[in-house]
Amino acid sequence: MVQDIHQEKILILDFGSQYTQLIARRVREAHVYCELHPYDMTQDEIRAFAPKGIILSGGPKSVYEEGAPGLSDAVFELGVPVLGICYGMQVMSHHFGGLVVPAGKREYGHADLIAQGCPGPLFDGFFVEGKSPVWMSHGDHVERMPEGFETVARSDNAPVCAIENAELKLYGVQFHPEVSHTPRGEILIDTFVRKICGCTGQWTPGQIIDDAVARIREQVGHGQVILGLSGGVDSSVAAALIHRAIGDQLTCVFVDNGLLRLGEGDQVMATFAENLGVRVIRVDAEDRFMQALAGEPDPERKRKIIGNLFIEIFEEESARIEGASWLAQGTIYPDVIESAGGKTGKAHNIKSHHNVGGLPEFMKLKLLEPLRELFKDEVRAIGEELGLPHPMVWRHPFPGPGLGVRILGEVKKDYADILRRADAIYIEELFRTGHYDKISQAFAVFLPVKSVGVMGDGRTYEYVVALRAVETRDFMTAGWYPMPYADLARISNRIINEVKGVNRVVYDISSKPPATIEWE
């Protein structure tokens, strides 16, 4: 009998923080399942969720403002431990009668947390000689604590930076333990979910696979499934997982849309059809995609056009497969969060993903998304557990719309041809120089602008290619990769010399936020 790995779960109530998804990521790193839900989740929904513990996220509001987000009594009636982070600590204090006021001096960035007295169990292993560096992001602070709470830490600018009510197992921290800028933050979150909430850590790759296989079999029954195989990590792992669950009931449809990387079509067919024994149908649809995208410069419209056409082709192919009733996709949790604020609906919509926000309203096929609850590194972990080749599992992410969102503005065939050659040179050089495995994601972007150059003794007026490389733990925040100048120079020189139509190469040094990783 497969163990229900969703029995032990943490509820994260989202108050609109840009870091909320990172809280979920840290909980998952403790091998505990969690879900994000809106702060105004109903009392009945909270009780029905039956969490082992609750985490209250940060948020942009002030608790004393009219209409500021508040808390349901059900959060505390369950009797489970509660951890409030930043606004979460303030709203918990306010709920129990404490006083939150504008701070005389706001805190944004690094600060030293200083222990007060003997901090409780939440801070086991967190302080070193009574101090710990943390990341702050607040303009308000708790001036008067609620009755029954104690101060367990402060900073130079805030007299109350951590509070606890040991009897009720209520805890609050003004800083953000979920971000990488708080060095020992993951220890605090691990302590909360494992020691204080009593979770045993059932969310492991092997158990995730067993659970997913059982759910796929129950959901699909004797039906036939088609999967849109892109060659990227997510769709590849989804294919392997579904194939393990239902075998020949799965047919993969690989749509060659003219927006793939150089030689990718042949590589995908070789990997899956020849080596893994998965049934794969290859559809040459480059002309259809180019015609559909002609004249459309808007990124959101492009994503929806590509998504709709994918579904149209999948449904055409499904009509040829007797009993086909399911469309499988490699949708993962960050796709869901970025497309529509995830399950919380409180975050701003950043962009639509073709496999979430780009689907048509009415489809003949039912959706099967076995990776929808997983973050990228969880997907990679179960890919390795399933026995997929290491280079496939650790390949850099490739967007569902492919080069369609790496060509800025209107998509044209000659733009795609230029970009795929430039990108191939870039990736080849990253492997040659040993940078590829140190980078989380790297790719080239085609800019539909021309600049003046000179080659030989002649004037040129050709296109620009931008190179992007980032380092990240979770793809929610990212920093640009400090590529050595000599390597950049070689890559630039090769692209300009070997790719006709390009005379200028630039390197993107933007972080996320404020930029996104992809340009569109």
State the residue for tokens 């690094």.
110
Ligand-binding annotation for 232, yes or no, is yes
Both structure tokens of 233: 């990590």
Contact assessment for residue 9 and residue 32, using Cβ atoms and an 8 Å cutoff = yes
**Whether residue 86 lies in the annotated active site:** yes
Ligand-binding annotation for 230, yes or no, is yes
CA distances in angstroms from 207 to 3, 194, 369, 379, 481, listed in the order given: 8, 18, 17, 13, 34
> Helix, strand, coil % (nearest 5) of the chain?
35, 25, 40
**Whether residue 94 lies in the annotated active site:** no
Pairing of strands 458-471, 502-507: parallel
CA distance 484 to 433: 10
Q: What are the DSSP calls for 120-169, one per residue? A: -GGGTTT-BTTEEEEEEEEEEEEEEPPTT-EEEEE-SS-S-SEEEETTTT
Tell me the H-state helices in 163-224: 185-190, 205-220
CA distance 330 to 121: 40
Q: How many residues does the chain have?
A: 520
Which residues face 84 on adjacent strands? 56, 172
**Whether residue 312 lies in the annotated active site:** no
Strands (E), 19-148: 33-38, 53-56, 82-85, 99-115, 131-144
State the residue for tokens 């997982």.
241
Which one is catalytic: 29, 37, 86, 338? 86
Query: To 10 degrees, the CA torsion angle through 407, 408, 410, 414?
Result: -30
Instruction: State the burial class of residue 32 (Cβ atoms within 10 Å of its Cβ: 0-12, 13-18, 19+).
Output: buried
Contact assessment for residue 54 and residue 82, using Cβ atoms and an 8 Å cutoff = yes
Residue 326's contacts (CB-CB under 8 Å, 6 or more residues apart) are: 220, 223, 224, 225, 226, 365, 366, 367, 368
Which one is catalytic: 178, 338, 373, 429? 178
Ligand-binding annotation for 511, yes or no, is no
CA distance 520 to 511: 15
Specify the DSSP element, H or E, that contains 88.
helix 87-95
CA distance 11 to 9: 7
Which one is catalytic: 176, 243, 353, 354? 176
Query: How many CA atoms does the CB half-sphere of 413 hold within 13 Å?
Result: 10
Known binding residues for ATP are: 230-236
Known binding residues are: 230-236
Which residues are marked as active site? 86, 176, 178
